[in-house]
Structure 1
Amino acid sequence: MATSRLLGYLESSKNLTGSAGGLLGLVLTFTGVAGPYWPVVVAGLYGAGALIAPPERPPLPEFPTPSAQLEAVRSDFERLGGYLAEIDLPPAAAGRLKEWEDLLSALLDPGWAAELLVNDPESVHVLSRAVRQDIPEAVDSFVRTRWWTRLAPGQEAPERHLERQLTLLKEEAEQLATALRDTEARRQETHTRYLEDRGT
């Protein structure tokens, strides 16, 4: 531990700047400027150099790249599919969930959509939240509420809430797909304008 600290200091900007000041002090000594006080001059210049050197910056933390984040969402989506396959849902809710799964599968498949998503962290966050939080919570709360409804009937059917939640999540995914499509459309239009301008 002490050895690594020592090595770290030897390579630090404070030591390097201080050493440059110390070398200047030695030059002044050999030219006769420092006189008999040369040790104080050398030490003083070293200390001054060490003091004016910029502080060491700790390395930035390494976070997952957008590609790695998208790959993690893709893996979690597959795991979520295994969980959903074990849940018995009403036909209407199952149909909406299937539509949502098909849409997300298309968005997460490697290809042009994934390439656009990598450059849009907010969209990756939306997909991550839907896969890791919204859908599991919607389905699990339905399963638990359905059990209680059987014990105490007369309340609003939990299927209605689930269908509404799945509809909203599907609409959110559709909005995301539309935004990605618009991004590609703008890119195409920009290239058309570039070619038109180049020809004039």
Structure 2
Amino acid sequence: MATSRSSSRSNSRALAYLESRKNLAGSACGVVGVGLALTGAAGSLWPLVVVGLYAAGALIAPPERVAPPEFDPSEQLGVLREDFGRLREYLAEVELPPAAGGKLTELLELYGRLLDPGWVADVLAADPESVHALSRAVRTDVPESVDTYNRARWWNRLQPGTVPPERHLERQLSVLFDEAERLTAGLHEVETRRQQTHTTYLEERGRS
């Protein structure tokens, strides 16, 4: 079984090389060497000339280009939606102070509107930097903020008088909300430019 697979892979590699640019270029140069041999220009060393020309052609041929993998942005958002669902389940089990809880609710609603399947999510998927920023917030920033709050709250009970941990949590959530609003504004700007571009195109077409 293993021998059969190994043989199949070897045959595939051999066929791939026969069709490669290196082999085609080397063969073309080798044909030139055969022509020199037939005319007698290569002398008695014509086999070495043919092999040398083939090797030279194979060396100067451009390398084969391996196409990079294609990633479907919609699939990335699908995975992110699943992670967002797990985040919401986790947060539903956590007790937060009212102010922080209200800010977190606003933040999650904004994330949810961006991730809801539809044309908004399509605009988001077309912007890798925005997808990265939202992924970082959902998978790292929000859970880290809530978890560190819970840990600090326990320590604060042992050592009262320090800065209340809910203050830090509120500040962190405010920063994340501002970041999400900037992200949303950036996507809105993309759509605005798209509309303006279409207006310009129609006006120029009308003048022509």
Same fold flag (TM > 0.5): yes
Report the number of matched residues: 199
Q: Against the structure 1 CA distance between its residues 195 and 17, is the aligned structure 2 distance closer, same or farther, given a 3 Å change threshold?
A: closer
C-alpha displacement of 1:35? 4.4
- CA RMSD in angstroms comes to 2.4
In structure 2, the gaps of 5 or more residues are 1-5
CA distance in 1, matches of 2:202, 2:28: 56
Aligned mate of 1:91, from 82, 98, 119 = 98
Q: Against the structure 1 CA distance between its residues 46 and 74, is the aligned structure 2 distance closer, same or farther, given a 3 Å change threshold?
A: same
Matched, 1:46 2:54: yes
C-alpha displacement of 1:152? 1.7
- After superposition, residues 56-67 of structure 1 pair within 5 angstroms as 56-57=64-65, 59=66, 61-62=68-69, 64-67=71-74
**Structure 1 residues 116-171: Cα deviation after superposition (integer angstroms, max 9, x where no partner):** 11221111111011101110110000000011111221211111111111111111
**Structure 1 residues 21-52: Cα deviation after superposition (integer angstroms, max 9, x where no partner):** 22222233334444443323322322222232
For 1:199, give the aligned amino acid: G
CA distance in 2, matches of 1:51, 1:179: 49
Counterpart residue number, 2:10: 4
SS of residue in 1 equivalent to 2:161 = coil
TM (norm. structure 2) is 0.83
Counterpart residue number, 2:23: 15
Counterpart residue number, 1:78: 85
Counterpart residue number, 1:105: 112
TM (norm. structure 1) is 0.86
Counterpart residue number, 2:3: none
For 2:124, give the aligned amino acid: L
SS of residue in 2 equivalent to 1:110 = coil
CA distance in 2, matches of 1:182, 1:50: 51
For 2:36, give the aligned amino acid: L
Aligned mate of 2:202, from 189, 195, 200 = 195
Deviates more, 1:32-41 or 1:94-103: 32-41
Matched, 1:25 2:33: yes
Counterpart residue number, 2:170: 163
SS of residue in 2 equivalent to 1:195 = helix
Counterpart residue number, 2:148: 141
**Structure 1 residues 161-193: Cα deviation after superposition (integer angstroms, max 9, x where no partner):** 111111111111111112222222222233223
Aligned mate of 2:133, from 123, 126, 148 = 126
In structure 1, the gaps of 5 or more residues are none
CA distance in 2, matches of 1:195, 1:48: 56
**Structure 1 residues 88-135: Cα deviation after superposition (integer angstroms, max 9, x where no partner):** 111111111110011110001111211111221111111011101110
CA distance in 2, matches of 1:53, 1:111: 47
